[in-house]
Amino acid sequence: MKIAVTGATGFVGRAFIENFHRDFKLVGLGRSRKAPDWLPRGCQWRSADLYSLLDAEQALKGCDVALYLVHSMLPSARLNQGSFEDTDLILADNFARAAKKAGVKKIIYLGGILPDIPEQELSVHLRSRKEVETVLSSTGIPVVALRAALVLGAGGSSFEMMRKLVHRLPLMICPSWTTSLSNPVYIQDLLELLNALAKEPRNKSTVINAPGPDRLSYIDLMQKTARALGKRRHFLPVSFYSPRLSLLWIELITGSSRELVSPLVESLKHDMIAEAPAKYKKYLRTPIDEALNTARASARQSLEQGRIKDERNRRTGARKESVDSKRTIQQESAEGSKSNHQKKTESLVRSVQRLPLPLKKDAIFLAELYPIWIQGKLKPFLKIRRDPDSGIVGFYGLGLKLLELTLSEERSDPTRQLYYVTGGLLAAKNSKGRLEFRTLPQLNCALSAVHAFEPALPWYIYKFTQAPVHLWVMNAFARFLAAYNKSLA
């Protein structure tokens, strides 16, 4: 059985590969062109940008099962316009489409436990997870939506944030969300369950909760973490609930990014408890104290191994420098080229916006309507010239071609219209940027997305001119579509 592991360099993905590379033919998927040093012998590595449907299709070729371990809470370009829930949506839709084309027989999606409350009361983060489940299931491939509790293990983002808080703060003021209940699950238990689900035949989609055996509040969890670390800590509960304040102090103390912390904190105001199906409880058995002690020991071991590796590299580097202290002009030139390539990569732009989907309309309708609408919106400053035969759409201002888009008929269909950026004063030469419209009728919405766009303008001019204009235009187009829908009601 060949299994594709997305997010292979992440916490769960790497652990799955390291634990079960002897049980399956594993294919690790990641954005890096080079396979990571830790990848076990016999495992395959495929470079893939899941924002590209073509990349996703090529990455999943020949795979029987796919583990979907992707979340887009961190930025993926120098400028990211759009919310993480919309980028999660486009990633999941690409993956579902690609899996269908590649003949994948089963998708296992690792999400999170959802509280037992009305869907409209879910936080944006939790609602996004539910949407991803829906989109992944849309092509008819059986999907196992594994809703895991907070995962405990060295290297996991949630555990590391908690460990740093306890390690660095002798006194913690605990807002009301810290009294919410959860069932933390040990990483090794979760891996064993993933292993069982990968082997299990499945012909229809299902949802499986994966909680640990112990139920406790977050303040209790931090107290137990303190004991596992051998730290004496004081916790002061307070009655107010302030996500912004919590976000600030977690960000400052742990060094974690706002993009990662914010959605998590907003989700903690509800109890995150669940019951696992009886047949899977045997995998979810490690008590919380044992899980924390093991995670602490693993974290210490990883730190020690990292220290030894750094020391070895330092000594090796010193020896190398003593042997060859003068770098050649060719080496300096190569380093300069690498720096330029990195700067070019960092200049790319991604913009994803959710749009209302007009009743009984498809992506072709949206793609044809957009230039007509924008010309009327920005008249007389903008004129559109469209060649139906070649699929070229030109955007002109003051008689100058500002942007040229060319329809990719081969990669387009009624649910997705793809245009490549092929010219114009506002795009860098040889740009690989693209614009697409796609529909998601199962969620009654559509998406517009710009990927890998490289502006011709200097970055700081682009950032405060062209970029905000594009965002304003797409938000105005969304309002127009909402009004259009309302007029049909």
- Convert the pLDDT of each residue in 107-116 to its tens digit: 999 999 998 8
In this prediction, what percent of the chain has a pLDDT beyond 90?
Answer: 63
At residue 169, the pLDDT reads 86
At residue 251, the pLDDT reads 81
Residue 212 pLDDT > 90: yes
Q: How far apart are CA 227 and CA 386, in angstroms?
A: 68
At residue 1, the pLDDT reads 93
- Range 290-316 average pLDDT: 69
Residue among 212, 173, 175 at smallest CA distance from 295: 212
At residue 197, the pLDDT reads 97
At residue 178, the pLDDT reads 85
Residue 333 pLDDT > 60: no
Question: What pTM does this model have?
Answer: 0.88
Residue 306 pLDDT > 90: no
At residue 308, the pLDDT reads 56
Alpha helices in 21-64 (DSSP H): 53-59
Which one has a higher pLDDT value, 412 or 259? 412
At residue 347, the pLDDT reads 52
- Range 408-418 average pLDDT: 97
| Cβ atoms of residues 221 and 165 within 8 Å | no
At residue 205, the pLDDT reads 95
At residue 133, the pLDDT reads 96
| Cβ atoms of residues 349 and 450 within 8 Å | yes
- Range 40-52 average pLDDT: 94
Q: How far apart are CA 367 and CA 278, in angstroms?
A: 49
- Range 452-481 average pLDDT: 95
At residue 165, the pLDDT reads 86
| Cβ atoms of residues 467 and 475 within 8 Å | no
Report the half-sphere exposure of 59 (CA within 13 A, side-chain side).
Answer: 33
- Domains of the chain by start residue, with CATH: 2-153+182-213+272-298 (3.40.50.720), 300-344 (no CATH), 349-488 (3.30.530.20)
At residue 345, the pLDDT reads 46
Any bridge partners for residue 403, and if so which? Answer: 395
Which one has a higher pLDDT value, 468 or 323? 468
Residue 117 pLDDT > 60: yes
Which one has a higher pLDDT value, 263 or 228? 228
Cβ neighbors of 124 (< 8 A, separation 6 or more) are 83, 85, 263, 266
Report the half-sphere exposure of 436 (CA within 13 A, side-chain side).
Answer: 27
At residue 305, the pLDDT reads 57
At residue 5, the pLDDT reads 97
At residue 328, the pLDDT reads 33
At residue 484, the pLDDT reads 92
The number of residues making up the chain comes to 489
Bond into 75 cis (ω within 30)? no
Residue 106 pLDDT > 90: yes
DSSP string for 391-448: TEEEEEETTEEEEEEEE-STT-BTTEEEEEEEE-TTB-TT---EEEEEEEGGGTEEEE
At residue 455, the pLDDT reads 95
At residue 298, the pLDDT reads 78
Task: Please give the C-alpha separations between residue 92 and each of 208, 263, 374, in angstroms, as whole numbers.
Answer: 19, 18, 29
Report the half-sphere exposure of 211 (CA within 13 A, side-chain side).
Answer: 18
pLDDT digits (tens, 9 = 90+) for 336-350: 333 343 344 445 899
* Three-state DSSP state, 451: strand
At residue 332, the pLDDT reads 33
Which one has a higher pLDDT value, 236 or 190? 190
Q: How far apart are CA 226 and CA 265, in angstroms?
A: 20
> pLDDT tier at 324 (50, 70, 90 boundaries)?
very low
Burial 2-21 (b: 16+ CB within 10 A, else e): bbbbbbbbbbbbbbbbebbb
Q: How far apart are CA 36 and CA 429, in angstroms?
A: 32
Q: Which helix (H) or strand (E) holds 306?
A: helix 288-323
Tokens read off for 268:
């903690």
Q: What is the CA radius of gyration of the chain?
A: 25
- Beta strands, E only, 213-367: 216-217, 234-237, 349-356
Q: Count of CB atoms within 10 A of residue 440's CB? A: 21
